[in-house]
Amino acid sequence: MRITLIGAGRVANHLALVLEKKHRIVQVFSRDKQNAQNLADRVNAEAINQIEQLNRQTDLVIIAVSDQAISELIKNVSQYVPDSLIVHTSGSTSLSVLTESHLRAGVFYPLQTFSFEREVNWSDTPLFVEATNTQDLNVLTELANELSDCVYQYSSKQRQTLHLAAVFACNFSNYCYDMAKQIVDAESVDFNLLFPLIMETANKATQNDPQKMQTGPAMRGDQNILSKHRNLLINAHRADLENIYKIMSDGIFNTHHSK
């Protein structure tokens, strides 16, 4: 397949690198020419920073940009590649955002957190595909199967539920790690000491029901420790973390005691 990448961020980079193994990346578009060039150089593609420069000879256009930029881009992109299949890679953007402007539209959503610094284990990464017509759905499914052992044909609604849950399971849990690091850093205590705890917590949530695995002072309703911890945060001038400590502890307590 001849594939065009719209976007040069983390998702675009990781997708381009893995797709280039079996397919031809024709062009990489980014408003920032240097970003486009950096990715294009990695996958032997042409870098462009004007939508008008899009090469019409492409089978698949992948829009991998921030969710809020998709609806603007699609109108413009569709004009220059009217016959190609165009997909986005977003969890929470409906397929209909593309079909308003373009006939052959689809979704190619990888449920994973991407970093420039880290390799992606594609074979374990769940991929969710959707398309307006069956033929394109088959094309996307086949492409997804080349990358991953976990490919699903999901509706926009199911995908949105997954993305919302992923914000809790990934973005919010990562922020919990970040807050923990801020707390130990402020007292010159080594963050590494928490690694076995972080890994065991993640492991047990994937091997057992996390609700049954809950531990800690909030679950026990230990008011002594809860108020001691909140005072520590207030005395450290971290009213922001104290507020989160309260809200999360209330949530845990209510989950385990109000049934």
Per DSSP, what are the bridge partners of residue 32?
none
CB of 232 to its own copies, least distance (A): 6
Report helix angle 10-19 to 134-147, nearest 10. 90
Number of residues that bind its own copies (CB under 8 A): 92
Amino acid 175 reads Y
Q: Which is nearer to its own copies, 145 or 211 (CB)?
A: 211
Residues within window 63-92 making contact with its own copies, judged by CB under 8 A: 66-68, 92
Of 17, 103, 137, 169, which one interacts with its own copies (CB under 8 A)?
Answer: 169
Token pair listed for 75: 């109108």
User: Is residue 248 near its own copies by the rule CB under 8 A?
Assistant: yes
Neighbours of 14 (CB within 10 A): 21
Q: What burial letters (b/e) apply to 17-51, b meaning 16+ CB within 10 Å?
A: bbbbeebebbbbbbeeeebbbebbeebebebbbeb
- Among 34, 44, 53, 174, the residue binding its own copies under the rule CB under 8 A is 174
Q: Decide whether 1 or 150 has the Cβ nearer to its own copies.
A: 150
Residue of 22, 79, 100, 170 that binds its own copies (CB under 8 A):
170
Residue of 21, 52, 117, 134 that binds its own copies (CB under 8 A): 117
Q: Exposure of 92 by Cβ count < 10 A (0-12 exposed, 13-18 middle, 19+ buried)? A: middle
31 lies in the binding site for its own copies (CB under 8 A)? no
Phi, psi dihedral angles at 86 (to 5 degrees): -115, 130
Stretch that binds its own copies, among 32-40, 41-49, 62-70, 73-81 (CB under 8 A): 62-70
Which lies closer to its own copies via its Cβ, residue 135 or residue 164? 164
Helix 239-257 vs helix 223-235: crossing angle, to nearest 10: 160
> Looking at beta carbons only, is 48 or 70 nearer to its own copies?
70
CA atoms within 13 A on the CB side of 201: 13
∠ CA 209-213-218, rounded to 5° = 130
Q: Which of residues 126-165 bind its own copies (CB under 8 A)?
A: 126, 150, 152, 157-158, 160-162, 164-165
State which of positions 175-234 bind its own copies (CB under 8 A): 175-181, 183-184, 187, 189, 191, 193-211, 213-220, 222-225, 228-229, 232-233
Minimum Å gap between C-beta 213 and its own copies is 6
Q: Tell me how far, at minimum, the Cβ of 84 lies from its own copies, in Å.
A: 26
For 61, phi then psi, to 5°, come to -110, 120
Determine if 52 is a binding residue for its own copies (CB under 8 A).
no
Q: Is 171 in the site for its own copies (CB under 8 A)?
A: yes
